[in-house]
Structure 1
């Protein structure tokens, strides 16, 4: 019974991502226990993002303010989104405020866009949720780059936020 190399490598990558996420979760939990979650501390899971396409960080917001003041206000409040791709697989990291049925809406929207969820990890700390998804970009998917996928996820989260605001 042979297992192909891609499956082994994919499994190893998912395992490492799971360990990274667990480390972030435990770090956030430790900060909370030690009482370091005051205003000087960053939002939970912030060290988990390397090169986010959409970011709530101060440096991103300052750059956006120089370009377009109105857009920065929207982008700074919604989510951190980072997408990395290799061939037909993409890894998504999403950090946002928890909202009702958010995960269900994200997964169903990805499915509609022909992005099949292969692996999913969720961690929460207070009002913040960190979603890490491994997805397969199907042949009939119109999204081909990390920026296109990140923009689509950003639109999903914008819609979820708007729905949550309307329901309050």
Structure 2
């Protein structure tokens, strides 16, 4: 629910459609929030799709961060299958290196590692917003697509 509110707010801000109430302006009392009832609806694919919407909406930093989130979420789902949890970026990178060394075919090893490296570039750009939208389209989207397809096919 919260991520949907953020997305809706970003869309309104990026399109200039601010008529009416913004969804986050509704004030709730502390007891109104229930974490148990909220279902996680974001998937790697929905985050990837959101990044494409953000590119159309001309937001470099948010588009990059959404690409990072989609790949990161895909890796999280993969690790969950094996009962693993990795909240640390450096540890996740080590896991990707381990997977490339022991679980990925030789022909896919380079693409697998470079796609993760590009996802880290996307994450850094999420903080700085320095990359152009054209760079995101040409440099960051193809590796994200590869990374998502890789886990879906294996």
TM above 0.5, one fold?
no
Higher RCO, 1 vs 2 (CA within 8 Å, ≥6 residues apart): 2
Richer in helix (by share): 2
Taking structure 1 as the reference length, the TM-score comes to 0.30
